[in-house]
Amino acid sequence: MVWNPVAREYLLANIPRVLVPLNVKDKAIGVIAFGAKESGDIYNQEDIEVLKVISSQVAIALENATLYEQTKKFNIKLTKEVSRATADLQQANTELRKLDEAKSEFISIASHQLRTPLTVIKGYVSMMLEGSFGKLAPTVDENLYKVYESNERLIHLVENLLNISRIESGRLQFNFAKEDLTDTVASVVEELSHTSEMKKIYLKYSPPKEQIMVDMDEEKIRQVVINLIDNAIKYTKKGGVTVSLQKQADKAYFCVSDSGMGIAEKDLPNLFKKFSRGKDTSIVHTEGTGLGLFVGKMMIEAHKGKIWAESKGTAQGSKFCFTIPLINKQPPKTLEGKVV
């Protein structure tokens, strides 16, 4: 126990008659010193008992006051620490945001600069393949086609990077118009049928008999449909790909299912994240950046729709679907089924 100097001085000058310890549990936190009684009587047993009770109450009160004081001090210290840490975090956050903006700006500029020469390469290679500069020897033709394909992949990558930088900076613009989704899907299937033929797998699509009118940015939805069918072809070695489109309640319901490599259960929740590829995907198909589905999700959500993946597991095929709202009022049809 530490003696308070004032108390020590007092005790030396006035000889106490009774010293009552102040105990909290087994800890002594002080003593109360009593001088002689005013009446001059000596302290009897009853007095001692009363003093014991009083001292235990005083000890608890003192202990509580000390604890309260400590808590108050700790609180002040904590508030200061929290404010300092918050300020540090805000500073770090501002710096990170600046870095992120610089990164997005860089990707955007680099992608823009890459797009023009890639488009020029595509144009010339296409003309060569079509024989615009004379007939090519079969080996040249074959190898030139590989150049064409690789260039297409680069264009696809640059397009995705540009889209992501636009999405992240809030600069992605949509040109919504009333369109028939049936036409978009049919033209993408036709475009990709060559790729599936080359892989010797089927690509089936039975277009719906009716129009499926939606309010969409045709170019963006086209990109999503291309990526889903392209993925299905890419990740299927045997069997093939089935595309379906139909109305379901107030939604257009599009699905691509395949008999390909399937998706492990633990990969399913991550597929729509940026740069996410399934565990074994890069072994089966080295090309691909894992951006297509991320961009697709953004596009579909901007159309107030939903996109998801289903698979029973590895080697069990996959199914990717999206829905977007139908335009409430479908255009009236003539008796021949044509829209007027």
Ligand X SMILES: Nc1ncnc2c1ncn2[C@@H]1O[C@H](COP(=O)(O)OP(=O)(O)OP(=O)(O)O)[C@@H](O)[C@H]1O
List residues near ligand X by CB under 6 A: 156, 160, 227, 231-232, 235, 258, 260-261, 263, 271, 276-278, 281, 288-294, 318
Distance CA 299, CA 293 (A): 10
How far apart (Å, rounded) are the C-alpha atoms in residues 231 and 199?
Answer: 13
Strands 318-325 and 306-310, sheet pairing: antiparallel
- Find the shortest distance in angstroms from Cβ 278 to Mg ion: 11
Residue whose CB is nearest to ligand X in the complex, by number: 292
**Cα gap 236→261, rounded to integer Å:** 6
Q: In the complex, what is the shortest distance from the CB of residue 158 to ligand X, in angstroms, rounded to a whole number?
A: 11
Please report, as residue ranges, which positions from 192 to 251 form the binding site for Mg ion (by CB under 5 A). Answer: 227, 231
Stretch that binds Mg ion, among 129-137, 244-252, 284-292, 323-331 (CB under 5 A): 284-292
**Closest alpha carbon to 293 in 321, 274, 266:** 274
Reported as type and span, the H/E element at residue 222 is helix 218-234
CA atoms of 154 and 159, how far apart (whole Å)? 8
Q: Is 281 in the site for Mg ion (CB under 5 A)?
A: no
292 versus 305: smaller Cβ distance to ligand X: 292
| From the list Mg ion, ligand X, none, partner contacted by residue 257 (C-beta under 5 to 8 A by kind) | none
180: left (phi over 0), alpha (psi -120 to 50) or beta: beta
Q: State the binding partner of 260 from ligand X, Mg ion, none, CB within 5 to 8 A by kind.
A: ligand X
- Give the interface size with Mg ion as a residue count (CB under 5 A): 3
265: its two tokens: 């259960």
Q: Alpha-carbon distance 181 to 305, whole Å?
A: 14
Q: What is the dihedral of CA 273, 274, 275, 277, to 10 degrees?
A: 20
Residue 56 contacts which entry, ligand X, Mg ion, none (Cβ below 5-8 A, type-dependent): none
* Residue 97 Cβ vs Mg ion, minimum distance, rounded to whole Å: 29
User: Which one of Mg ion, ligand X, none is in contact with 274 (Cβ closer than 5 to 8 A by kind)?
Assistant: none
Three-class secondary structure of residue 335 per DSSP: coil
Closer CB to ligand X, 156 or 222, in the complex: 156
Q: Which is nearer to Mg ion, 231 or 259 (CB)?
A: 231
- Compute the least distance from the CB of residue 288 to ligand X, in Å: 3
From the list Mg ion, ligand X, none, partner contacted by residue 305 (C-beta under 5 to 8 A by kind) = none
- In whole angstroms, the minimum distance from the beta carbon of 164 to ligand X comes to 10
**47 residue type, one letter:** D
Task: Tell the smallest beta-carbon distance from residue 269 to ligand X (Å).
Answer: 12
Who's near 208: CB < 8 A, 6+ residues apart?
182, 245, 246, 247
Contact 304, 243 (CB under 8 A): no
55 binds, among ligand X, Mg ion, none (CB under 5 to 8 A by kind): none
- Tell the smallest beta-carbon distance from residue 227 to Mg ion (Å): 5
Q: 210 — phi, psi (to 5°)?
A: -105, 165
Quick one: 56 or 195, whose CB is closer to ligand X?
Answer: 195
Residues that bind Mg ion (CB under 5 A): 227, 231, 292
